[in-house]
Structure 1
Amino acid sequence: MTTQERGATYTEVFASREFRVLFGGFTLLVAGDQVKMLALSALVYARTGSPGLSAAAYMLGFLPYIVGGTFLLSLADRIRPRALMIAGELLRVVTCLLLAFAGLPIWAMLVLVLATGLFSPVFGAARSALLPDLLPGDAFVLARSVLNVTAAGAQIGGLAAGGAILALAGPAGALAVTAALSALAAVVLRYGLPDFPARNASAGKPEGDGAVRETLRVNRALLADPRVRGLLLAQWLPVSLVVGAEAMLIPYLGNSAGLALAAASVGLAAGSFVVGRFVSPTGRERLAFPLAVVSGLPLLAFAAQPGLAGAALIVLLSAAASTACQLGLQRWFVDAVPEPVRGQAFGLAAAGMMTGQAVGGALVGLAAELTSPHTAIVVTGAATVISSLVLHRSLRAVTRRPA
C-alpha cells in the first residue's frame, strides 16, 4: 500500500532531515515576527504616545502581502529556494537592527517595515513550494498540518515571549533578540538544507521577462484557469470571513477578548492536528466541503449574544473547521498548478489569504458600524456558509490523482 493510499504519519514527516530544518526555521520565523511587531509597536508608542500609530505599526507586517503578492512572486521560482530563504532571514536581521539602533524617525521606521515586507510573500512561497519536493503525496499534507499547528503555537508563544522580553530589555532589546533568531535561522538553513535548483528553467535567461512582468503574467494565467481559480477562492473566502469575524471579538468582549482570540488559535492548531492525524487522505478531501460550511455555522450562535466562555467555544470550533478544510485542498492545488510556477502559485494563495483577511476584517468592521458587533459576526457566519455553498465544486473532488 502506498503512502498516499494509507496516509502518512507525523513520524514519517519528521524523519525527513530537510523538513526538520524547514520546521525549525519556520518556528523561529513566526515567533520572531510576533516579537518584532510587538516591539515595533511598543517602540512607536513610547516615542509618540499615539495608540493609533502603535496599532498601525503592529499591522504593517501584513499589508505588504498585497503588493508583494501582485508584483514579485515570480522570484520564488527564479531563485534557488535555499538562497532565497536565507536572504529573507538576513533581510530581517538588518531590518530589526536598523529599527532598534539606527535612531530612525517614525516615518522612516514605518517605510522600512513596509519596504522590506514586500518580499515576505516571496520568501514564504519558496518554503511552501519546496514542501511537495521534500515530502510527496500525503506526507506533504501532514507537513502543512504541522506548520499550521506550529504557526498557532508560535504566535501565542511569540507574543508571550515578546511581552517578557519587552519587560526585561525594552523594545530595542526585543528587536535585537529577533535579529539573533533570524541569524540563527539563516545558519540552520545554510547548513541543513540542500541547495535545490531554481524551479523555473527560464530564470536568469536574457530573453526572459523581468520579475514584475513575469509575476503579472503568471498570476493572470493562474486566475484564468477555472480549476486553479476555484481552488484559490476556496482557500481564500471561508478562512478570510472567519478571521474577519474574530476581529470583532475586541469590541464585543472588551478586555476579555484576548482569551477568546487564544481559543481561536487553539482551534486552528486542533483542527489541523486532528484531521491531519486521524482522518485518511481521501477522508480529508471529502470533508473539505462540509468543513467549509461548518466553519460558518457556529458564528450564527452569536445571535444569542454569548458570554466569554460561549464566545471562546464558538470561535474555537469555527477556526478548527476552517483550518481543517484547508488540508483537504492541498493536494488538489499541487496537482492543479504547473510545476515550474508552483512557488508563485503558493505565494498567490498565501498573499490572497492575507489580503482577504484584511479586507474581511474591514468589511465586518463596517457591518458592525451599521449594526452591532454581535450582529456583524452573525452576518459573517451566514456569508461563510453561502460562499462555501457557491464554491462547492472547488471544495469537492474536482480532480483525481493518478494512482
Structure 2
Amino acid sequence: MSTTSSGVGYRAVLRVPGLTSVFVAHAVSMAGTVAAQVALSILVFERTGSPLLSALVLVCSFLPYALGGIALSSVSDRFPARRVLVCCDLVSAACIAGMLVPGLPVGALLGLLLLTGVVAPVFAGARAGSLAQLLDAELFPVGRSLLRAIAQVTVLAGFAVGAVAVAAVGPTWLLALDVVTFVASAALIGFGTPYTPAVGRTGNTVQDSLTGLRYLWGNIPLRRLILLSWVVPAFSSMPDGLAVAYTAQTGAATTAAGALFAGYSVGGILGELAAARLTPDTRRRLVIPLILLSQTPAIAFIAEPSVPIAAVLLAISGSGYAFNQGIDPLILNATGTEYRGRLFTVQTSGLMAIQGVSIALAGAIGTVLRPNLTICLAGLIGTTVTLLLARRALS
C-alpha cells in the first residue's frame, strides 16, 4: 500500500493523500500534551505546596512508556492503525477529562497521567507503522523526521507559552483545552487519514507483545540499530538535566537555563530540516558524522563557556539528532512487515525510558562533580560509546 511521491523533503511527504491530517493531528495533540504537563505541574503544586509531587508529573509522563512498550506493543500490529490511533486519542481525552473532577486527590491525578503514558507509545508505534505503509522507502524517514520536527517546535512553544497561559486562564481551563486537542486529533485521524490494514496475528495481546520483543531482540542487526537510536540521545540529552545547575555555575540567572533547553531543540529542528532535503544515500553516509556532531560539543564544556556559547554548542549537538534519517530505512528493512508496529512502539518506549534515566543520572553525577565537568564527561563517554555502536550497527 506504499505510496510514492516524486521529490524529497517535507513537501513531498505532505503531498501524499491524507498525510497532512496525520501531521496536523500530531501538532494539535502534542500542543495539548505539553500544555497539560505545565498545567498539571502547577495544579499539583497549588494543591500540595510540594515541589517533589509537582516534579512527579514529569516522572509520570515518562515512566509508563516502558510498560506500554512491553505489554501492549502488539496492539499496533493486530488492529488497523487508524482505529488504534483514534482509540488512543479518546482514552487520553477521557483521562484528562477525569482530571477536571473537582477535589480529585493528587494520587488519582497522577494515576490518570500514568494511564495516558501507557497508551502513548502504542499511539506512536501505530502512527509510525501506518507511515511505513503509506510512504515508500525514500519518503518514510522524511515522514518520521517531520514528526520529530513538529514535536520539537511544539515543545519549544508549549513550555514557553504554557506558564503564561496558566497565569491567564488557570490550570483547569488549560486541562480542558487539552481534552479538546485530543478529541480534535481523533477527529482529524478518523475522518482525514487513509485506512491501513492490520498486519499482525490475533491472539493474546501481552503474549504477542512479548513474542515481538523476543523477535526484535533476537535479530542482531536490528538490535544494534535500535540500541544506537536509544544511546545517541541518551548521552546528548544529559545536559538538559543539568541546565539549571550549569547556568548557576556560570553566575547567570537560573531563568537563563531556558536558553539551553531552547538551543538543543532549535538545533534539532534545523538539523531535521536540512537532512530532509538530502538524498537517501547522502543521509546514509552522514550517519556517523551526525552522531559525532551530537556528542562532541559537550566536550567543550570543560572550558565552562558562557550561557550564550553553551546554547550554541547544544544547538550544534541537537542538529546531530538528524542521524535518525539515515538509520530509519535500515531499521525498516531489517524488520518483517508483521512486526513493524511492535518495532516502533518498543523503539519509542525505550527511547523515552532511557532518556529519563540518563537525565536523572546526569543530575546525580552533577551532585558530585561540577556541572560542566559532568557534561564534558557525558560528551567523552558518549562519543566513544556511540562511535563503537555505530560501527558495529552499520558494518
Q: TM-score, normalised by structure 1?
A: 0.92
Q: Within the alignment, does 1:354 sit opposite 2:357 as a pair? A: no
The answer to whether the Cα contact below 8 Å between 2:80 and 2:196 also exists between their aligned partners in 1 is yes
Q: Within the alignment, does 1:225 sit opposite 2:225 as a pair? A: no
Instruction: Provide the rounded CA distance (Å) in 1 between the counterparts of 2:286 and 2:344.
Output: 22
SS at match of 2:196: coil
Instruction: Provide the rounded CA distance (Å) in 2 between the counterparts of 1:125 and 1:372.
Output: 39
What letter matches 1:129 in structure 2?
A: G
Larger mean Cα displacement after TM superposition, 343-352 or 152-161: 152-161
Instruction: Provide the rounded CA distance (Å) in 1 between the counterparts of 2:87 and 2:102.
Output: 21
Shift of 1:187: 1.1
Residues 220-269 of structure 1: CA deviation (Å, up to 9, x unaligned): 12111111100001101011111122211111113210111111110110
Shift of 1:102: 4.3
Q: Which residue in 2 is equivalent to 1:259?
A: 259
Q: Which residue in 2 is equivalent to 1:401?
A: none
What letter matches 2:308 in structure 1?
A: A
The answer to whether the Cα contact below 8 Å between 1:299 and 1:380 also exists between their aligned partners in 2 is yes
Distance 1:116 1:145, change over 3 A: closer
The answer to whether the Cα contact below 8 Å between 1:68 and 1:122 also exists between their aligned partners in 2 is yes
The answer to whether the Cα contact below 8 Å between 2:96 and 2:113 also exists between their aligned partners in 1 is no
Residues 328-357 of structure 1: CA deviation (Å, up to 9, x unaligned): 101001100111010110111111111110
What letter matches 1:350 in structure 2?
A: T
The answer to whether the Cα contact below 8 Å between 1:329 and 1:395 also exists between their aligned partners in 2 is no
Q: Which residue in 2 is equivalent to 1:285?
A: 284
Matches for 1:116-265 after TM superposition, within 5 Å: 116-200=116-200, 202-203=201-202, 208=203, 210-253=204-247, 254-265=254-265
Instruction: Provide the rounded CA distance (Å) in 1 between the counterparts of 2:136 and 2:46.
Output: 48
* Structure 1 gap segments, 5+ residues each: 399-403
Instruction: From 356, 377, 395, give the equivalent of 1:379.
Output: 377
The answer to whether the Cα contact below 8 Å between 1:129 and 1:343 also exists between their aligned partners in 2 is yes
Larger mean Cα displacement after TM superposition, 304-313 or 140-149: 140-149
Q: Which residue in 2 is equivalent to 1:309?
A: 308
Larger mean Cα displacement after TM superposition, 170-179 or 155-164: 155-164
Identity of aligned residues (%): 31
Instruction: Provide the rounded CA distance (Å) in 1 between the counterparts of 2:15 and 2:279.
Output: 20
Q: Within the alignment, does 1:111 sit opposite 2:111 as a pair? A: yes
Larger mean Cα displacement after TM superposition, 216-225 or 300-309: 216-225
Residues 87-146 of structure 1: CA deviation (Å, up to 9, x unaligned): 111112111111123431011111121133211111110001111211112211211221
SS at match of 1:391: helix
Instruction: Provide the rounded CA distance (Å) in 1 between the counterparts of 2:26 and 2:38.
Output: 18
The answer to whether the Cα contact below 8 Å between 1:8 and 1:139 also exists between their aligned partners in 2 is yes
Instruction: Provide the rounded CA distance (Å) in 1 between the counterparts of 2:340 and 2:102.
Output: 38
Q: Which residue in 2 is equivalent to 1:87?
A: 87
What letter matches 2:356 in structure 1?
A: A
Shift of 1:11: 2.3
Shift of 1:7: 6.0
* Structure 2 gap segments, 5+ residues each: 248-253
What letter matches 1:232 in structure 2?
A: I
Instruction: Provide the rounded CA distance (Å) in 2 between the counterparts of 1:46 and 1:356.
Output: 30
Shift of 1:59: 3.0
Larger mean Cα displacement after TM superposition, 359-368 or 339-348: 359-368
Distance 1:136 1:394, change over 3 A: farther
Instruction: Provide the rounded CA distance (Å) in 2 between the counterparts of 1:27 and 1:168.
Output: 22
Shift of 1:363: 2.0
Q: Which residue in 2 is equivalent to 1:29?
A: 29
The answer to whether the Cα contact below 8 Å between 2:96 and 2:112 also exists between their aligned partners in 1 is no
Q: Which residue in 2 is equivalent to 1:44?
A: 44
Q: Which residue in 1 is equivalent to 2:250?
A: none
Shift of 1:385: 0.7
The answer to whether the Cα contact below 8 Å between 1:61 and 1:114 also exists between their aligned partners in 2 is yes
Instruction: Provide the rounded CA distance (Å) in 1 between the counterparts of 2:229 and 2:242.
Output: 22
Shift of 1:274: 0.8
What letter matches 2:156 in structure 1?
A: I
Q: TM-score, normalised by structure 2?
A: 0.94
The answer to whether the Cα contact below 8 Å between 1:299 and 1:381 also exists between their aligned partners in 2 is yes
Instruction: Provide the rounded CA distance (Å) in 2 between the counterparts of 1:367 and 1:172.
Output: 37
Instruction: Provide the rounded CA distance (Å) in 2 between the counterparts of 1:395 and 1:291.
Output: 15
Q: CA RMSD in A?
A: 1.7
Shift of 1:286: 0.9
Instruction: Provide the rounded CA distance (Å) in 1 between the counterparts of 2:329 and 2:23.
Output: 20
The answer to whether the Cα contact below 8 Å between 1:101 and 1:172 also exists between their aligned partners in 2 is no
